[in-house]
A and B are shown apart, each in its own frame.
Chain A
Amino acid sequence: MTDLSDLTISEAGAGLRNKDFTSVELLDAVTKRASFTEAQLHSYLALDREGARAAAEAADAAMAEGTDLGPLHGIPMALKDNMCTEGLATTASSQILAGWKPPYDATVVRRMRDGGAVITGKTNLDEFAMGSSTENSAYGTTRNPWNPDHVPGGSSGGSAATVAVGSAFGALGSDTGGSIRQPASLCGVVGMKPTYGLVSRYGLIAFASSLDQIGPLTRSVSDSAAVLQSIAGWDRFDSTSIDGPVPNLTGSIGKGVEGLRIGIVSELMSEGIDPQIRTAVSAMATKLESAGAEIVEVGLPSSEYALSAYYLIAPAECSANLARFDGVRYGHRSDVEGTTEDMMSHTRAEGFGPEVIRRILLGTYALSAGYYDAFYGQAQRVRTLVRKDFAAAYSTVDALISPTSPTTAFRVGERAADPIAMYYSDVCTIPSNLAGDPAISVPIGLDDSGLPIGFQVMAPALGEEVMYQVAAAVESLADFTDRAALAVSEVVAP
């Protein structure tokens, strides 16, 4: 019999409604899976056993009474630990927030709970979501479930590994420059960044506010759409959330790609991308063509500047956002003798890790008097050029495709000492963040080391419907059924 923790969200939901099993049994299955995998993976920072148990019992009771809260009702789901959970420690993987318990739930958490989801716990990330490997966590590195010598990607590496291994049915991550899609690619799961403003950021610990967006990590494209539908929509607590109708996210799935015009981005198929990945992406493009799509090559000439612009914009915004961590209102406070200013400067030096300090310094410099226009201002103008390139592309095509990551999962430690090499991990994903557009990574195969390859589908702002239409076709053409070694129960059973 299939282990319950290997089901998709939609399969688990169907089973609950058919009374094949209960939410408590689903929770027991993923908890058991975690008890085997966590020693090697470390995808969770904390499991909320009591809270999850109570939520699962409540979900079962509600369903028994005939209440149906929707696709997440009774489904165990994990949260990246930069989303506030009332009364449940939220650290953003930083020492500066060690032990802090938020007094409120993030809007996405509230919506998940209202939808009957069972929150299993909080997953590991690069400190304050700054990184591409989850090695920057103050609480230990998460490992890749396909090969524990490799990184799971980042910054939502804990969420991606959790979903890949089956210690939750799905998870939420946050994506500022690729932090959902790149780990999804490296862990062989589906990861999606919505249009900027489609999902409320209230209660998400801010990194770069003009880029941050919360989205789902799941094991299928239709699960991704179902989770997004549950959390999307205007929120009075987030002035940047879109006050308008949420696109129909699930209606286009399964319609195929016949008649669609799809652009393959030439700049993201260049020599910097691993040849095996380019070959796999080209082969999938050919399959989409056979399925009735018209495939054309499209250029995004400004995208080669996107990475450099991002590494000015994101640090600049982070230096402002992280000013709030000063030892006054929450988290760590240094016990250094002296004035309040001494206390603040030492609190920040003690509480932040090296990558966070590096980015705060970079951003502080880029925003300081005399440099603002040369760095931040210029980067914001490059952002306009990137948006214009996308607009020009979308005047001729319905969607764009590319690799998600220039490489498959790299080894733990391989890029830790070289910030520039680490930053290059996000070269394919950053353009969509700068443009504010939706994008998704779908697994399409394995490289010759047995590590997953991700395929990215991008669409114009609020074009989630066509994005999911293409992504579902990619999923079905790839027929990717391999499972991470650590997820296979015979391997992990004691």
Chain B
Amino acid sequence: MPVDIDIARVAHLARIALTAEELEAYGAQLEVILEHAERVQALPTEGVEPTSHPLAMVNGFRADEVGDCLDPESFLSEAPESEDGQFRVPRILG
């Protein structure tokens, strides 16, 4: 399978602002890495179930009880900007 990557779209999806030169360099590197992935794609896997977790586990549940939790100030004080007990960000709309 030929590898054809719209690297600008991928960078946008990942929300990483890259320059034209960076996009070109990463695009070329990704193509090389994905050529190696072709070996994996050629492997016959019909009827093979995917593994998403190495051990057979089911969701664990806990009792719905109020317990100790972190004081909001302990993490708000580490944020770049906060106000009135909330994280503050720049404007949302362009």
Residues of A within 8 A of B (CB): 100-101, 103-104, 195-197, 210, 236, 239-240, 242-243, 305, 307-309, 311-312, 319, 323, 326-333, 338-346, 348-349, 352, 357-358, 360-362, 364-365, 368, 374-375, 377-385, 387, 419-420, 434-437, 461
A379 CA to B5 CA in the complex, in Å?
Answer: 19
Distance of A359 from chain B, by nearest CB (Å): 9
A246 CA to B53 CA in the complex, in Å?
Answer: 20
Q: Which of A319, A328, A385 contacts B89 (CB 8 A)?
A: A328
Q: 5 shortest A-B CB distances, which residue pairs?
A: A436-B54, A380-B50, A333-B80, A103-B74, A345-B17
Contact across chains for A361 and B16 when beta carbons are under 8 A apart: yes
Contact across chains for B55 and A364 when beta carbons are under 8 A apart: no
Distance of A212 from chain B, by nearest CB (Å): 11
Contact across chains for B92 and A360 when beta carbons are under 8 A apart: no
How many A-B pairs have beta carbons closer than 8 Å: the answer is 168
> What per-residue 1/0 map shows which CB atoms of B34-54 lie under 8 Å from chain A?
101101110101001111111
CB within 8 Å of A: which B41-94 residues: 41, 43, 45, 48-55, 57, 59-60, 62, 70-71, 74-75, 78-81, 87, 89-94
Distance of B11 from chain A, by nearest CB (Å): 6
- If the complex has contacts A242-B55, A327-B80, A343-B90, are A357 and B48 also in contact, measured as CB distance less than 8 A? no
A101 CA to B37 CA in the complex, in Å?
Answer: 38
Q: Which of B1, B15, B40 contacts A309 (CB 8 A)?
A: B40
Least CB separation from B13: chain A residue? A364
Contact across chains for A375 and B74 when beta carbons are under 8 A apart: no
- If the complex has contacts A327-B80, A374-B41, A380-B52, are A103 and B17 also in contact, measured as CB distance less than 8 A? no
Q: How many residues of B contact A (CB 8 A)?
A: 51
Distance of B24 from chain A, by nearest CB (Å): 12
Contact across chains for B43 and A385 when beta carbons are under 8 A apart: yes
11 A–B contacts, CB within 8 A, in A order: A240-B53, A308-B39, A309-B40, A319-B14, A342-B90, A348-B17, A357-B18, A365-B30, A365-B34, A383-B51, A461-B55
Least CB separation from A340: chain B residue? B89
A377 CA to B37 CA in the complex, in Å?
Answer: 12
Contact across chains for B14 and A361 when beta carbons are under 8 A apart: yes
Least CB separation from A368: chain B residue? B13
Least CB separation from B81: chain A residue? A333
Least CB separation from B19: chain A residue? A349
Least CB separation from B11: chain A residue? A361
- If the complex has contacts A103-B75, A329-B75, A339-B90, are A346 and B17 also in contact, measured as CB distance less than 8 A? yes
Contact across chains for B5 and A365 when beta carbons are under 8 A apart: yes
Q: Which of B16, B40, B78, B91 contacts A360 (CB 8 A)?
A: B16
